[in-house]
Amino acid sequence: MTTSSTTLNYTNVRDIWYTMIGIPGLEESHIWISIPICSMYIVAIAGNALLLFLIITERSLHEPMYLFLSMLALADIFLSTVTTPKMLAIFWFQAAGISFASCVSQMFFLHFIFVAESAILLAMAFDRYVAICYPLRYTTILTPSVIIKMGIAAVIRSFFICFPLIFLVYRLTYCGKSIIRHSYCEHMGIARLACDSIKVNIYYGMIVALFSICLDAVLIIVSYALILCAVFRIPSRDARLKALGTCGSHVCVILLFYTPAFFSFFAHRFGGHSIPLHVHILLANLYVVVPPSVNPIIYGVRTKQIQERIIQMFSLGKSFC
């Protein structure tokens, strides 16, 4: 009788509190794991904030490529901030408790930013395609109004794709499972704690992955295939290398974003028990801090205009001192 009443009490989602255990099997190493994660989070916030500041304040960087880069930097700040502070609270203070509503909010913003960032990377691939294949029409095709519309479209698409996830987890019946074997809340992690069938959640998750992330990745590959065809038709070797060099930073960022995402996706569905759970969770934790921390470094190292602006800013700072 007691068990039955407990089960019924837990069906009210307002009463549900979860306990996130961080990285299962590595609880004793949480403090050590938190050091690189915290360091990368600081670098991600500082690096992307600096990138945004440079692009906003420097008129020479008000070009389509850098406007898209500012969108990416903003998405990276949000992606790491949605997950990392709570993750560090678990590692440092054992603050593992989270309410159902807070967990669902974190889930929504995590998936929302992820899908939006994928769309931004696709827009950046289109930018490189236009710049190399139609250089004379570049500024007429990618006008500021077109770039703003592309950014708004990325946000709206992401919202309509991810908003149903909230209803999909709220419609489920929960009956007492309260342990999340993860460091943050994501869709299937919440759904698996329900007592009833989660087939709709599984199917919708697959559809979202196929028709947003996978579709974006395919379109990016097509864009770069067309770019390579155009580049190899350029007679001058130096011009070919320069054209490829302008794409280098973007390709590195794309690989950083999609490689761990697809690894995690396929490992969860087809890896079975061959890959330990703590490996999955550790990679998922690193995924939300590594790309955001590395992206501004990649663009800072490989983009001459950003390099020059950073050197100029620090030299001015030294002269004031």
Kindly report, residue by residue over 120-138, the tens digit of the pLDDT: 999 999 999 999 889 889 9
Report, in angstroms and rounded to the nearest whole number, the Rg of the chain calculated over CA atoms.
22
Q: Is residue 190 in some structural domain?
A: yes
Rounded distance, CA 81 to CA 286, Å?
A: 13
Q: Count the domains in the chain.
A: 1
- The CATH number of residue 299's host domain is 1.20.1070.10
pLDDT band at 5; cut points 50, 70, 90: very low
Tokens linked to 315: 């030299």
Q: Is residue 8 in some structural domain?
A: no
Q: Which of 221, 278, 305 is nearest to 21 (CA)?
A: 278
Q: Is residue 140 in some structural domain?
A: yes
Q: Is residue 2 in some structural domain?
A: no
Residue 261 near residue 10, CB atoms below 8 Å: no
Q: Which of 110, 264, 251 is nearest to 187 (CA)?
A: 110
| 22: number of Cβ within 10 Å | 25
Q: Is residue 145 in some structural domain?
A: yes
pLDDT surpasses 50 at 219: yes
Q: Domain span at residue 293?
A: 15-319
Q: How far is CA 36 from CA 33, 54, 261, 290, in A?
A: 6, 26, 20, 10
At 194 the three-state DSSP class reads strand
Q: Is residue 4 in some structural domain?
A: no
Q: Is residue 6 in some structural domain?
A: no
The predicted pLDDT at position 8 comes to 45
pLDDT surpasses 70 at 3: no
Q: How far is CA 129 from CA 102, 265, 284, 319, in A?
A: 41, 28, 31, 41
Rounded distance, CA 94 to CA 30, Å?
A: 10
Kindly report, residue by residue over 174-203, the tens digit of the pLDDT: 887 889 989 999 998 899 999 889 999 999
Tokens linked to 71: 């969108």
Rounded distance, CA 103 to CA 96, Å?
A: 11
Residue 250 near residue 124, CB atoms below 8 Å: yes
pLDDT surpasses 90 at 157: yes
Please give the DSSP secondary-structure letter assigned to residue 28.
Answer: G
pTM exceeds 0.85 for this model = yes
Q: Is residue 270 in some structural domain?
A: yes
Q: Which of 238, 242, 221, 240 is nearest to 230 (CA)?
A: 240
